[in-house]
Structures are given as structure tokens and as C-alpha cells.
A = this chain, B = another copy of it.
């Protein structure tokens, strides 16, 4: 654990970029909701497979994008909180993201299977990359839970696993962003016969895509820049007997 933390100036910069990141993340969810409400017929669950599908992009953008990004940022965004509550919050936000993701997947599969002419599942590149992101996310959750929230795992093992957990956590997030871009594009092509003339709906979809790129870039910057790394607090060592090095 390092002893010196970020300088006050770099922490001010962090706060500004963190705030912008939150605003971009919120804008993505709001614009996704607008697209669904204004152009895709809104939301329903059992009455209409086409609008049941619309839960998929909405819940995925909340779960796998907004919550996932916030969960990996929690150690740096709340750097003065104690380690244990941070770990529990990290796991809780990820858990919530997982629930959103599962319901989003059910919405997609249901909308395919219950359509009058059923649509095959898992054939596009979006579905392959998206499933890879979800599986990676699930494995990370499992290994992270066992390693860091379970008592009895050796400190040396926790420290060794930490860079692996961080790398695959960031990779999973980037994969989720890539999968979202692919999902946006295929829905745009399927839903807009006039996409090539770039109607307002097309501009909206492409803008959501660019915001996803910006959000992804900002989150990865904030979560990987060594300058913004959380400094271990004295309480971390005093209160926890098994504390992995802070990320």
C-alpha cells in the first residue's frame, strides 16, 4: 500500500471529470429512454413482444453501463470512506447491475421467442459480444466475492488476484460498451428503413453511441489513472484483518 495520496489539485480535477462522467452516463440513460418512448413504441412486458424488447436496451444501459461504471469508480469517488463499506457498496451496485442485466436478457429472449414469427436468438455479433461481456461480468462477480468478501482467503492470494480482477473488470466494462454500440447499430438498421437518410431518430441513435464512447473513455481514464488511485487509510489496516491492497 502506498503512503502518499493524490495532490489536492489532482483531486479537484478528479471531481470535475467525475461529475462530467456522471452527467454523460445519465444523458445516455435519458436519451435511451427518449428513443424508446418517442420512436420505438414505449415499454410493455407481456402484451407485446416488440415493446417488451425495449426493456432490453433501457435496462442494459442502466445496468451494464451506468451502474457498472459507477461500481468500478466507487473506490476513487468515495476515497475517504472505509475499505469495508466500499467493498460492500462495490458488490451491491454490481449485484443490482446483474439483476438489471438478467431482466434485460429475459426481455430480449422473450421478445424473440414470443413473436408471431419467432426470431432466432444469439445470431448477431452483438449477441456474441454481449454474452461474452455478461459471462465475464458473472465470473468476475463470483471470483471477486469469494476472494474479497469471503473470510479466510489468504492476504497474499488476495493481493495476487487484485490486478487480474481489475484488468478483467475494466475489460468487461469496455466489452459492455462495445456490445451496446453493436446493439444500437443493429436496432437502428432493423428499426429504421430510412436510416441511410439520417432522420432525427438516426442522429439520436448515433449521438447515444458517441456518448457511450465518451462515457467509456472517461470511466476508464478515472479508474486507471495512477494519479487518482485511492490512498489506503490507516483505518483499513486497523479495522480489517484481511484487507486486499486498495485499487
Contacts and interface: CB of A to CB of B under 8 A. Distances in A.
A128 B217 contact: no
Interface residues of A, number: 38
A126 B196 CA distance: 12
Interface in A165-182: 167, 171, 174-175, 177-178, 181-182
A174 B224 CA distance: 15
Interface in A195-245: 195-198, 202, 205-206, 209-210, 213, 217, 220-221, 224-225
Contact of A123 (B186, B202, B209): B202
Given A178-B181, A181-B182, A189-B186, A129 B209 contact: yes
B120 A206 contact: no
Contacts of A198: 120, 123
A213 B120 contact: no
Contacts of A182: 181-182, 185
Contacts of A119: 196
A132 B210 contact: yes
Given A174-B174, A182-B182, A209 B120 contact: no
Interface string A119-146: 1100111101100100000000000000
A91 interface: no
A125 B184 contact: yes
A202 B122 CA distance: 11
B174 A125 contact: no
Interface in A66-100: none
A126 B185 contact: yes
Given A123-B196, A125-B184, A129-B213, 20 more contacts: A120-B196, A120-B197, A123-B195, A123-B197, A124-B185, A124-B189, A125-B206, A125-B209, A128-B206, A128-B209, A129-B181, A167-B225, A175-B213, A181-B181, A181-B182, A182-B182, A186-B189, A189-B189, A189-B190, A224-B224
Those 10 A-B pairs whose CB atoms lie nearest each other, nearest first:
A125-B209, A125-B185, A123-B198, A178-B178, A120-B196, A128-B206, A125-B206, A123-B196, A182-B185, A189-B189
